[in-house]
Chain A
Amino acid sequence: MPNFYDEMYSTTATVRPHYTAFAEWLAQQAPQVIEQKRAEAELNFQRVGITFAVYGDNAGKERLIPFDIIPRVINAAEWNRLQAGLVQRVTALNRFLHDVYHDQAILKAGVIPREQVLNNAQYRPAMQGVKLPSDIYAHIAGVDIVRAGEGEFYVLEDNLRVPSGVSYMLENRKMMMRLFPDLFAKNRVAPVDHYPDLLLDNLRSVAPPSVDNPTVVVLTPGMYNSAYFEHAFLAQQMGVALVQGQDLYVRDNTVWMRSTRGPQRVDVIYRRIDDDYLDPRAFRPESTLGVPGLLDAVRAGRVGLANAIGTGVADDKSIYPFVPDMIEFYLGEKPILNNVPTYQCRKKDQLQYTLDNLSELVVKEVHGAGGYGMLIGPASTRAEIEAFRERLLAKPEGYIAQPTLALSACPTFVEAGIAPRHIDLRPFVLSGKSVTMVPGGLTRVALKEGSLVVNSSQGGGTKDTWILEN
């Protein structure tokens, strides 16, 4: 057996129980039928326009994310444990954010070094002491999960700012049901398509308390943003307006949108724009994507923002090592999900360890995202490692290092037929008056043999994710 956890097979010849029905079905399919279905899927994605833009790539402004028709299946017991772990983790992270922007008990207790938090570029002093509905900051979290070793779950990243990918979760399911309706008769797959309803409920709960029937909008940077399809999709599914910064203005700390019937008040903004670009008066002055004065409206409690400003201080890679401590500090519980052991290169001994073991480790930028600017030691050449060493030495506090996890793999259609490819999972956790999730998430797959990078910007694909009901 290879040295990674295979999602479908427990030994070369033995299919795991929760994959049995699928494996039997797959064995009965004629190769040309599968080929035809794969072509049909691609054509459908083109027609529907489920595309994303890759930055700095003018030739192909819009691209399809490759979709693989072999689903990633998780059984009910595994899911229940995962869900409990996610609820626990995101609850603690929201408690942490509220604490940071209010009493800072966790800093006073010395659990996390004060300067780690307060000197972090993602900490927003303007949010200090601001009261938010239900004390929730990260209303939508997209937590990246991997399986390693014997199949244990690890949290790789807590994405608490503007996580994307949920539209692919929903569209992938729609596509699978369209291509292979018979599969869903044979497997009890938990539905995910009520996600937009849960999201809308959650967003409405963010409205200022005085508002009865809140007007919710989705704020997008515009159609050239890589996730524009998702912004438009979610707005449509929730039946709310999709707006850009230029469509909104703030007057007397109240947000209005320009409509064909005159100004209309906005109560909740699901913003898909980073903090930095949200309000040129408060943050980057050159931003034309944001709404001048929005921060003041938030501070005055006249508009709800999801996610809140300043959540980045909790999902930064330099804070990540402390999340298990947060869980114990706020909830008095043992973490259900593992953290990946992390070396903080700002610390001298841990930097030394990292430098000595570069060929074994994954080194990431503290503020990096999208799979850019990282080193995967075992997959890099000597020259690449040496070049990275220079960068690391020049700015050690900008990096963390982790052991290279043997990510689990799932059978996937590739040129040469079906072969295992490494995958991760991004479930979406909604926090409001309560914490809710749909059973599922986005499974991303690294299509290159041996590759551990699943990001769509780096040639990754996606799969439908099935949570089987008991």
Chain B
Amino acid sequence: MLSRTADHLYWMARYTERAENTARMLDVRVQYSLMPQSELAEQQGWRTMLGVSELQSQFDAKYGTLSQKEVLDFMVRDPDNPSSIANCLRAARENARAVRGSLTTEVWETNNTTWLTLQQHLKSRMFETHPGKFLEWVKYRSHMSRGVTLGTMFQDEAFNFIRLGTFLERADNTARILDVKFRFLDADAIRADAQLEFYYLAALLRSVSAFETYRKVYRDAITVNRVAELLILQPKMPRSLIACMCAVVANLQEVRNDLSQETERLAEKLYGELQSAQIGNILQEGLHPYLTRFLASIAELGNGIGRDFLLPVAPELPEEAPEEAPAQGQTQTQTQTQTQTQTQAG
């Protein structure tokens, strides 16, 4: 398949998944803001939210105050925030439009309808008046996009690149959610208050649709260790790091080419480490350093996929030095050289 086509499919899926995860985190925050809590606690909650995407400084530079209204505006609508839901859904739709011929009609129309409906929702400012309803809508559109892909797409390379995008992005997002939430949990005030700790852990679980699963798997009180275990090492948990890596490895095998050996090895190494890991050892090392390493590996994997499949260098050009990995923590975005804007007359 055409490399550019693969690139568009992969990023279509990544941006859709990113919009969903942003909606998940916002949704949980919005729900919790309805509970009695101090203003400081509420602000800290929203700050955590911004921390996930490393967007605090950008937010502070633009918005004077920190409350639900501003954060929602920034994370949902703001055209200057590359990770806002509106920008993610726009990017997903533009990528889909660029390769609509490689998608089934249903997949394309689902993406296009999402984008068209989003315009209406932004205009009516539904995300301010009914934030819960709006965020739910974003989640369901992502479910729909994934479902229609699974239900209608021929399972060839196009499908594999979509799945690669979905799972790589999800691995990244889950790791970020864990990292930021657990950093926040470390605060003494929360450690000291069992009830508060419960709420935060429950919120974390709900943000990845894992609250009921937790109960089913452990049938016991919610503890930090088990939550971390469920979201990192439980292969049956669809948003866990290990489940994501399992899917990444499988899809990479399907699209293997002459260049991709090293990238494949990196993915297998990450997956293998997760398979043999013990949650006790991870927590002993410290969750933050562990997840920082994981996120760096995911970024490296993303670069490898880009290099091997999506942006192959023209053969007549000399071999270029491998690109530098983006600074750790920064959210990866699509290389913009792919999008042509030149038009011709006539």
Contact = CB atoms under 8 A, between A and B. Distances in A.
A289 B5 contact: no
B94 interface: yes
A233 B101 contact: yes
A199 interface: no
Interface string A242-275: 1110110101000001111111000000000110
A116 interface: no
Given A48-B109, A251-B316, A263-B315, A221 B340 contact: yes
Contacts of A289: 340, 342, 344
Contacts, number: 104
Contact of A244 (B6, B112, B340): B340
* A interface majority secondary structure: mixed
Interface stretch (A26-34, A147-155, A222-230, A383-391): A222-230
Contact of A258 (B4, B98, B345): B4
A4 to B, nearest CB: 30
B258 A47 contact: no
A241 interface: yes
Given A48-B109, A221-B340, A261-B257, A247 B4 contact: yes
A241 B5 contact: yes
A247 B342 contact: no
Of residues B105, B309, B346, which shows the largest number of chain A Cβ atoms within 10 Å of its Cβ?
A: B346
B343 A244 contact: no
Interface string A70-91: 0000000000000000000000
A47 B113 contact: yes
A236 interface: yes
Interface string A396-419: 000000000000000000000000
Contacts of B101: 232-233, 235-236, 242
B86 to A, nearest CB: 16
A277 B340 contact: no
Given A232-B100, A258-B312, A288 B340 contact: yes
Interface in A92-139: none
A49 B100 contact: yes
Given A221-B340, A258-B4, A260-B309, A49 B315 contact: no
Interface residues of B, number: 38
B97 A223 contact: yes
Interface string B4-17: 11100000000000
* B interface majority secondary structure: helix
A21 interface: no
Contacts of A263: 315
Interface in B124-183: 157, 161
A424 B257 CA distance: 51
A249 B346 contact: no
B340 A222 contact: yes
B66 interface: no
Nearest to A48: B109
Nearest to B344: A277
A55 interface: yes
Interface residues of A, number: 38
Interface string A43-67: 0001111000001000000000000
Nearest to A245: B340
A11 to B, nearest CB: 42
Nearest to B93: A49
B196 interface: no
A370 interface: yes
B122 interface: no
Interface string A139-172: 0000000000000000000000000000000000
B2 A247 contact: yes
A393 interface: no
A252 to B, nearest CB: 11
Contacts of A325: none
Contacts of B346: 274, 369-370
Contacts of A225: 343-344
A370 B345 CA distance: 10
Contact of B3 (A223, A251, A260): A260
Interface string B333-346: 00000011111111
Contact of B343 (A55, A242, A257): A55
B122 to A, nearest CB: 16
Contacts of A221: 340, 342-344
B317 to A, nearest CB: 10
Nearest to B110: A47
A277 B345 CA distance: 10
Interface in B101-115: 101-102, 105, 108-109, 112-113
A259 B157 CA distance: 11
Contact of B340 (A47, A246, A249): A246
B314 interface: yes
Interface in A273-289: 273-274, 276-277, 287-289
B1 interface: yes
B100 A236 contact: yes
A287 B340 CA distance: 11
A260 B100 contact: no
A274 B344 CA distance: 8
A47 B341 contact: no
B121 to A, nearest CB: 16
A400 B325 CA distance: 60
Contacts of A46: 116
A260 B255 contact: yes
A261 B309 CA distance: 8
A274 B346 CA distance: 8
A243 B2 CA distance: 8
Contact of A260 (B157, B339, B341): B157
B248 to A, nearest CB: 16
A251 B315 contact: yes
Interface string B249-263: 000000101100000
A246 B314 CA distance: 10
Given A222-B98, A232-B100, A277-B344, 17 more contacts: A49-B108, A55-B343, A222-B340, A224-B341, A233-B101, A244-B340, A246-B4, A249-B314, A249-B316, A259-B1, A259-B2, A260-B255, A260-B257, A260-B310, A289-B340, A289-B344, A370-B346
18 contacts: A48-B105, A232-B99, A232-B101, A233-B101, A236-B102, A242-B2, A249-B316, A259-B1, A259-B2, A260-B2, A260-B6, A260-B157, A260-B257, A260-B309, A260-B310, A274-B344, A274-B346, A289-B344
- List the 4 shortest-distance A-B pairs measured between CB atoms, nearest first: A236-B101, A222-B340, A232-B101, A235-B101
